[in-house]
Amino acid sequence: MKKFALIIAAALILSSFTPLHGNNTPSPATPSPTPSSGKVPAWLQGPPATPSPAPTEAAASAAPDGSTPAPTQSGDPNQSPAPAAASPVPSPTTKPGYVKAGTPEAETVKVPILLYHHISEEFDLTNAISIISPRDFNLHMTAIKTQYKPISLKEYVDFVNCKDGSKTLPTNPIIVTFDDGYLSNYEVAYPILKKLEIPATIFIVTDTVGEIGGKGKVNYSHFTWEQAKEMQDSGLIDIESHTNDHIKLGETDIDTVNYELRKSKYLIEKKLGKTCDMIAYPYGSYTDEAIQASKKAGYNVQCLVGDDATNIDYEVNIPRDGVMNLTRITVSGTMGNVNVIELVRKAIANKNID
């Protein structure tokens, strides 16, 4: 009940925002489709090449001042309302500048890290804590591409660790990550990320790689090592560790902790031919002992956030906090009709810099 109330409260708060980034458009402002292969799913396609001569219902109902009417036209509770508020329109004021590593201003650049899980049409309010619909995911990515400068987690780590001033960071960066390694990351997210040229890090559970949903120990299918390799080799996606068995490292003995850390790192490095030095703790569960064990095992980057999608007190990262306690903004299907840009703005506002 508390969760439901929070969702309603969040929806009410967010619905009161006036969109700052432009007018409503007849269709979700997916950019012009530039599919690189012939098997782009329908929901990934942008608007038709030939503009429709007649205005749509959504366009006709837009307020004269360009604000967005409340999206109440959907009768299906499982479907997100038309996310007109998420329609990204380029704003000249969001052109990124850059800061140089080691300078005072570089230490406090606010860096949001988004966390996604599974992407599926099966989303509904009972399972939405870690699922988002393909349509909403596409809208989110399109919006952040327009409003922010997506960078990879590795780029951020390199910047934080840069001692000679040779690295730069956009003043409005954003980072996309996924946990668990679901097949939908490969089938749904990867084409969108390629289309928009958005880098991402996927933290995988090595013992569930290639498992078929409902048959093994997982509910949803996970991508295979071959698919992981294809994504890794693209240069756009980085595969890192989410342990071997997805257990709570904060609630197990140190021998198991070491096994989880080391086996997952070993498998990723062996199967993908890359260094694995980033870990995201399942359930955000860890202890000081687990952190020390991670460092010893060779993890130089740690994400300590939990998976509480009802937590609206998200924060973002700043370079001077380092990369051993990175916080992320969990995005889920319950936020499918929420303007992700407003969510990020709120997280940025929550970050106090003394």
**Site residues, Zn ion (CB under 5 A):** 179-180, 282
CB of 10 to Zn ion, least distance (A): 22
Supply the minimum distance, in Å, between the C-beta of residue 332 and Zn ion: 13
3-class DSSP state for residue 238? strand
The smaller minimum CB distance to Zn ion, of residues 29 and 329, is found at 329
Two structure tokens written together for 340: 């992700």
Whichever of 29 and 218 has its CB closer to Zn ion, that residue is 218
- Going by C-alpha positions, the residue among 172, 281, 180, 267 that lies closest to residue 229 is 267
- Cβ closest to Zn ion, residue 101 vs residue 280: 280
Residue (109 or 326) nearer to Zn ion, CB: 326
Paired with 168 in beta bridges are 100
Minimum CB distance to Zn ion smaller for 107 or for 245: 245
Smallest distance, Å, CB 180 to Zn ion? 5
- In this structure, are residues 327 and 314 in contact, taking their beta carbons and an 8 Å threshold? yes
Pairing of strands 168-170, 98-100: antiparallel
Give the tokens for residue 207: 């013992």
Reading the block at residue 89, the tokens are 């329109």
Asked whether 181 and 202 are in contact (CB, 8 A), the reply is yes
Residues 6+ apart with CB under 8 A from 196: 31, 141, 142, 145, 150
Minimum distance, C-beta of residue 246 to Zn ion, in the bound complex (Å): 6
* CB of residue 244 to Zn ion, shortest distance in Å: 12
Q: What is the number of the residue whose Cβ is closest to Zn ion?
A: 179
| Structure tokens, 90 | 């380029």
